[in-house]
């Protein structure tokens, strides 16, 4: 090959590399769609007409983020963390929606004990309500949900609940397209799982019938101070979950960010204050939120829409992420 031909080839390769980096980085920015954010009240059931009420409204209050542009979009159910409010994630949900997804965040409970069975059943009931086309009336004009399948995501204990649904702890009427767990937690420490336990600590992987993404935090396993235990304790958090995932799966960890850093910049009330006071945090929430939202979109684009470019770009060039990634692992099919 002549010198001029080598130069052209190298220039072409360099241009492709720059395009890949730019494409992968775009996923961490707000997408091309404007978004709406709607609060949907739960159905007021009565002893006389529970069936009628279930059609009129969802079994739990919902926060729904959707694109404003007319079209049909895949649906993602996002489950909040322990004792959190669904609206603490409004900016994250809108980031995902801006890239062409309808994101449904149920408020599973106000207060809850250690047993997650009620949350699992409530999340399954929300998915069944979606399958009955209960969502359409809460969406912008000419925006339609694609309900051939549903993706399930969750943060912290919500990540555990998402795994539980994927593993069949409660039956749902929609097939699973993808599973995304954001810093999932299965208890207070190794040997102290909350019921029902998800992690098995066996060599046999969990039988999840869908691709899995596990997002972790570097500071989640670190206590904030001597009074507060870690919010995502070692042995029951992201690394343990990924260890038990079968292919296809991926694992991304934000080194310098904590367990609640993907929440809104401002989280109000006593619960909102606790998200900062209890868990060790990074310097600012915006970079972590952009990372989590972008990683979710990249994963969904590949496994729901068959467009792998963004996820492949993150895999090949992790430095395009707005945070430093200490772990980038992929298990291929």
Catalytic residues: 156, 183, 259
- Concatenated DSSP letters for 92-145? HHHHHHTTT-EEEEE---SS--S--HHHHHHHHHHHHHHHTT-SGGGS-TTEEE
What is the spatial distance between Cα 196 and Cα 160, in angstroms, rounded to a whole number?
10
CA proximity to 211, closest of 57, 53, 332, 44: 332
CA proximity to 271, closest of 101, 95, 81, 103: 81
In degrees to the nearest 10, what's the CA dihedral of 64, 168, 118, 96? -20
Between vectors from CA 193 to CA 190 and to CA 166, what angle results, nearest 5°?
Answer: 120
Contact by Cβ (8 Å): 287, 322: yes
What is the spatial distance between Cα 168 and Cα 175, in angstroms, rounded to a whole number?
11
What is the spatial distance between Cα 294 and Cα 96, in angstroms, rounded to a whole number?
7
CA distances from 268 to 85, 96, 166, 264 (A): 10, 22, 32, 10
What is the spatial distance between Cα 250 and Cα 329, in angstroms, rounded to a whole number?
5
Kindly report whether the peptide bond that precedes residue 196 is cis, defined as omega within 30 degrees of 0.
Answer: yes
What is the spatial distance between Cα 214 and Cα 251, in angstroms, rounded to a whole number?
5
Q: At what angle do helices 285-303 and 90-97 cross, to 10 degrees?
A: 40
């Amino acid at each position: 090959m002549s010198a001029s031909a080598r130069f052209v080839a190298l220039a072409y390769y360099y241009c492709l590399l720059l395009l890949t980096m730019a494409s992968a980085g775009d996923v961490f920015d707000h997408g091309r769609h404007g978004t709406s954010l709607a609060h949907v009240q739960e159905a007021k059931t009565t002893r006389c007409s529970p069936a009628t009420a279930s059609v009129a409204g969802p079994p739990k209050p919902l926060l729904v983020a959707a694109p404003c542009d007319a079209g049909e979009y895949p649906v993602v159910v996002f489950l909040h963390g322990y004792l959190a409010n669904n609206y603490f994630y409004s900016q994250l949900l809108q980031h995902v929606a801006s890239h062409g997804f309808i994101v449904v965040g149920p408020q599973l409970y106000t207060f809850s004990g250690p047993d997650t069975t009620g949350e699992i059943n409530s999340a399954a009931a929300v998915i069944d309500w979606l399958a009955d086309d209960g969502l359409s009336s809460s969406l912008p004009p000419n925006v339609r949900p694609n309900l051939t399948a549903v993706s399930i995501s969750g943060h912290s204990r919500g990540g555990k609940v998402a795994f539980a649904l994927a593993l069949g702890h409660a039956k749902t009427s929609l097939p699973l397209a993808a599973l995304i767990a954001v810093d999932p937690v299965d208890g207070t420490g190794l040997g102290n799982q909350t019921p029902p336990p998800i992690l098995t600590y066996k060599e046999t992987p969990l039988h999840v019938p869908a691709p899995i993404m596990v997002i972790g935090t570097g500071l989640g396993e670190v206590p904030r101070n001597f009074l507060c235990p870690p919010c995502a304790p070692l042995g029951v958090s992201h690394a343990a979950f990924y260890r038990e995932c079968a292919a296809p799966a991926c694992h991304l960890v934000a080194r310098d960010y904590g367990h609640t850093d993907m929440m809104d910049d401002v989280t109000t009330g006593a619960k909102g204050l606790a998200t900062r006071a209890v868990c060790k945090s990074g310097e600012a929430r915006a970079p972590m939120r952009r990372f989590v939202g972008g990683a979710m979109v990249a994963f969904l684009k590949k496994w729901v829409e068959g467009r792998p470019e963004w996820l492949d770009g993150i895999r090949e060039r992790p430095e395009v992420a707005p945070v430093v990634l200490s772990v980038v692992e992929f298990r291929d099919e």
